Structure 1
Amino acid sequence: DYPYTVKVPLDNLYGMHVYSRYVLSDVSVEYLVEDDKPSVHCFIELPCGQRVKAHFVHPAPPSPSENEESEERDAELVLVARRVEPEIYPTIVTGDLNDVAWSRTTLLFRKISSLLDPRIGRGMFNTFHAEYWFARWPLDHIFHSHHFALVSMTRLPGFGSDHFPLLTELALAPGENGVDDGPSPDEEDKEAADEIVNKAMA
């Protein structure tokens, strides 16, 4: 059912696999901040001929055993946000961001990228931790450019992972959202983004 794939198997729990029914082109696997945390970037070729730019990410969370602070995660999100060009391509960014939707970093990501969060006004969609009903947060995200409209979003039942799967259906629907519907950064946001990247890359 999903003949087009990108496979980046790793032993550190940050391997990534992308499966698609549609042709994937211009595929690149990149290590934007840390040399053992990949991200996948490609175009999805829709049957109608439209190309959709897709970014799949999984930055590491802050943790005593890995990253004492969130510098690397925050920098990766800013770097991906800067690569988004919704004025040129319909765009999707998705993955386990290891960050909640209301955090300063995720809000900054949305401002820099100008992408829309389809959950707004529709629910939390807490995906982690699947085993603890009393402690769950929305760590798995999908953001899209104004070219798309949300058809449905559903948290599926657990399947053995510590995350629930999140099934999202988007429709390519130009005109459904305005080009200016997404947030935009001010000078303070741009300075904060510069500081985050410079600190992580120092």
Structure 2
Amino acid sequence: MFDTLYFIFQILAGLVVFVSVWGLLPLDHWWIRGVDFPRIQILVIGLVSLVGLLVLAPQWESWDVVLLLALIGAVGLQLRMVLPYTRLWKKEVRQALPIPDAVQIKLMVSNVLTPNDNTQALVDLVQQKNPDILITLESDQKWQDALSVIEPDYPYNVKVPLDNLYGMHLYSKLELIDPEVKYLLIDDIPSIHTQLRLPNDEVIWLYCLHPMPPSPTEADKSTTRDAELLMVGRHINENNQTAILAGDLNDVAWSKTTLMFQRISGLLDPRIGRFFINTFHVNFPFLRWALDHIFHSPCFTLVNIERLPSIGSDHFPVMTTLQYEACATAEQEENATEASVKDKIDTEAKIEEGKEEGERLSQEHAEAAAEQQQEELNEVAGGKHTVVR
């Protein structure tokens, strides 16, 4: 029995080592970049197998030593990825000070899942939590109609109802200035770019993103996702903008791309030094990771960040409350890692790759849409005409 258990732990250890090395390959294919997501799960399996090897090893052969050392290296790599998002790390964004009449922004992000019909759950949650800003992803015309009841409280809005899983809506109590819907890389994947007037008359930028994930059913590479995020980060930095970026980025905070985005943009992650906010998948507790994010300029401190109850989607909503503290800017700028020359070169290269890949995907999507439209026309025509033999 012990031999069988030891063999199982050897298999698990080998798998953790393989996956850890596999994820280091500098390629964009989904079957490589997908390894970025389950870092916590890989770490847990690695720690369990490490304990198992140490406790059950009948004798230490050279192969056992090699496997043990490789496993320790793999566990160390996974720890380095996820440890910053625990209380063991220094906070990147400090806790907000109790300042009377301070300007605060409550921002809720919710990927609603287009087929989800439980629209009332989100309406009830919005009315209960009363955010200043609501960003919905995957929202189509059905969701737009359902959310019309909150519009009296949210007079400023941008609506992009789509049925391709990339619809997007922005509802705000704060004034939106010159909002734009942009299709940065793919013709049917929108993002919202707008200025936002705070109660103290400060004007900041808000970016709402939902790029395509690397997946066998969507984008076969992470190229456009990575390029879209880096493109917006570069724009924020070059224009010295005070900004908030939020949305379902279909990426995790510890990925190479997201970390490079932070260096390029200068924006901060309020989860660093605190805890995970794992928003996906609602139905599989062990297989959860953070896909819904918010990053912000150093002039904001954190009041609170929380995962909200399920609304029937595969994502939990998440709400973040930020406080505007201009006096915190200099202190928190020191927490932002400056982009290296290599970061800037890699960013430019990735954006160019993303533009090329975006053109290819746009063409594919257009052809698929045309084929679907033709099939629908044929069905309608077939229903109207009877063939007489």
TM-score if structure 1 supplies the norm length? 0.96
Give the alignment partner of residue 189 of structure 1, picking from 343, 351, 357: 343
Query: How is 1:13-162 mapped onto 2 (pairs within 5 angstroms)?
Result: 13-85=165-237, 88-162=240-314
Report SS of the residue matched to 1:175: helix
Quick check: which one's strand share is greater? 1
8 Å Cα contact 2:228-2:354 kept in structure 1:
no
8 Å Cα contact 1:24-1:45 kept in structure 2:
yes
| Unaligned segments of structure 2, at least 5 residues | 1-152, 357-389
Please give the alpha-carbon distance, in whole angstroms, between the structure 1 residues aligned to 2:280 and 2:310.
10
Report how far residue 166 of structure 1 moved: 0.7
Report how far residue 180 of structure 1 moved: 3.7
Of residues 175-184 and 2-11 in structure 1, the stretch that sits farther from structure 2 once superposed is 175-184
Q: Stretches of 4+ moved more than 2 A in 1?
A: 85-90, 177-181
Report how far residue 177 of structure 1 moved: 3.7
Larger Rg, first or second structure (1 or 2)? 2
Distance 1:145 1:105, change over 3 A: same
Please give the alpha-carbon distance, in whole angstroms, between the structure 1 residues aligned to 2:351 and 2:237.
19
Aligned length: 202
8 Å Cα contact 2:303-2:323 kept in structure 1:
yes
8 Å Cα contact 2:299-2:326 kept in structure 1:
yes
Please give the alpha-carbon distance, in whole angstroms, between the structure 1 residues aligned to 2:278 and 2:310.
12
8 Å Cα contact 1:149-1:177 kept in structure 2:
no
Q: Which amino acid aligns with 2:310?
A: G
Please give the alpha-carbon distance, in whole angstroms, between the structure 2 residues aligned to 1:66 and 1:126.
22
What is the percentage of aligned positions where both structures have the same residue?
49
Report SS of the residue matched to 1:176: helix
Quick check: which one's helix share is greater? 2
Higher relative contact order (CA 8 A, sep 6+): 2
Report how far residue 86 of structure 1 moved: 8.8
| Unaligned segments of structure 1, at least 5 residues | none
Distance 1:78 1:88, change over 3 A: closer
State the Cα RMSD in Å.
1.3
Report SS of the residue matched to 1:191: helix
Report how far residue 88 of structure 1 moved: 4.2
Report SS of the residue matched to 1:44: strand
Q: Which amino acid aligns with 1:125?
A: I
TM-score if structure 2 supplies the norm length? 0.51
